[in-house]
Structure 1
Amino acid sequence: MLNPHDLTNILVAHFGGLDATQWRQLGAYERTAFIASHPAAAAKAFDVLIRGFIDIVVKYNNGCGLFGKCSGYYGTVEAQGRGTLHCHMLLWIEGHPNPECLQSMMMEDDNFESLLFQWLEDVIHCELLGTSVESVGAIDVSPSRPARPEGVPDPHLQLPPQIDEVGEGAFEEAFYDFVGWLAVECNWHEHTLMCFKNLRPGEEPWDENCRMRIDGSIHMASYLDPEMQSILLQRHHPWVNNYNDIVMFLLQCNMDIKFIGSGAAAKALTYYISDYITKNDLQVHVGLQAIRAAIDSHRKHFIDDVEASSSVREQNLLTKAVNAMMGRREVSHQQVMSYLIGGGDYYTSHEF
């Protein structure tokens, strides 16, 4: 999942007619007002960013990318509460075995399992960069995100360290520091009501019931769950959500990354993600209200008309129902502009 931060995205300023200096001088409220009045710039910036991720980072059909050789992708665009856009994307990596085969390979070959864990731990981070096993016990386990120190600028707005400016010797440390600030700002998980919206009767809104599965626990090493045969990655920080350091550095925004690996959990995750990225935005209760309104309108229209045929009545009811439901679907300005000048509501490598 990629969640570009439009309120600090320099591309929004570019497409909205501001230079980088002007953009960074604006206050938070001024940038919010600018975004609200320039939805086309925000939608265009989002599209350029997602396409750049596909072309430069993933490198579909263009050799080996950050995650390997990508043989296919599908991403769906969604709007959040205030109308900003984000993308949920599935990547297919060439040579990746299916869940059953991967499970067998890991159980039969310890060396393969070790190499797979090394690759996953390099691609997916659940800690601040540079965290060692020895330092895990010293990490502050407070669930509240630490406040940014006074005088430290917002990393969303800053130009990332450039190797030709800081030099090769100092770049690694600058990279670690910058990504660390971003991980705290963007990927530090704090529970909200959304974390507990699927609680069953009797369940309490406690850490272990968070639907994001961030419960404040840590795992010192990656391992294959003997019961579910699913991969559980090391987690050296209790509250930092999964991220990739290169993507975080380049996009400077909130993200989530998961590996669809082995066992029953992989199948469940595949179903969940596939179902999620194809879900309908129209909520059930809103759709039912729309259908009821359409039926009431249909009855009033034909209450004194005894000559209309059943086919005419049925066609009228269907038209009213569809129009009523579509009329109640909430679409933000950025969503509208994404259809007009952006990439629409999905990105895909294949057409059928």
Structure 2
Amino acid sequence: MNSKRCRHIALTAVLAVGLAACGGGTGAQSGGTDGKSIANVVPGALGDQSFYDDAESGVTTLKSSGYKTSTLQADASNPAQWKANLQSVSTGQFGLVVMGSSTAADTMTETAPKFPDQKYVFYDGEIKAPNVASLTYKQNEGSFLAGVLAALVTTENKDFPLASGSKTIGLVGGMDIPVIHDFAEGFKAGAKAVSPDVKVLTSFVGSFSDSAKGYDQAKAMFDQKADVVYQVAGGAGVGVLQAAKDAGKYAIGVDSNQNEVQAGHVLASMLKHVGASIVQVAKENEKGALPVGKTTSFGLANDGVGLTYDDNGGIVPQAVIAKVDEYKQKVVSGEIKVPTVLG
């Protein structure tokens, strides 16, 4: 392992441990049920430059608009701690309690019925409970665009000096679970829509926090001539981005704008607009219209998912962005139906 990689992974580990130790969270610890107070229970630590950070951005936005907020972090491998944190903010001191993602579904399913007067928002999954508003995201549709972009890079590589034209791309997932397979299904479909000849490599880290293993799996793909690797591995995906830089190739980020994480190597980031969706439902709650007991889905048609090219240094030409957008419009119009593994 080279020294640069060691320093990067060590810094990531220290950051995660330090934030997890904060446990009690950030923001005000008092709230109320006036509709303008919210607690965010994170089944892990902030600082993943990904999914949890995006959710927290929504809480930060609400705080700036006058909300009383609290964020509770935890050890990513300690579900008992997630549950204890969730219960601690479910006794009426907050108008809303937010939690996600799919790994925490059991925690919310067990806890919500015990606090029937508490209103919850569960993002990136569906909880069947009368006091939970569930938010889901069509990651297959957003990943379809990521697959289109990756395929264009490896098949029309004249505009991408780090691509060899190998017609090989990859995806490194976090856990081997249905939602991650849904990312992969959409990514493969997007790539094949551009060219059936594109080879798509896939692997799973087995963790959303092991950046060293994420690095190793991405490196293996670059060693197999992949021009682009899409990371859908949460904090573990930071290692994928590092591997792209070290290999002199490209990556696609996920869940938050990661385009500057390894400047010149991250083409775009596929966003589930989690933070924005949390703000949206919080505003609905203020009006007494929180969709509890229901699931609200966000996809390409309502801009709930999509690619961002912001802060990528202009490495994707406008002509290529326009081609990707043509595929987006075909999905929105129904001309293309993106496959899903979630039914």
Answer with 1 or 2: which has the greater Rg. 1
Higher relative contact order (CA 8 A, sep 6+): 1
Higher share in strand: 2
TM-score by length of 1: 0.23
Higher share in helix: 1
TM-score by length of 2: 0.23
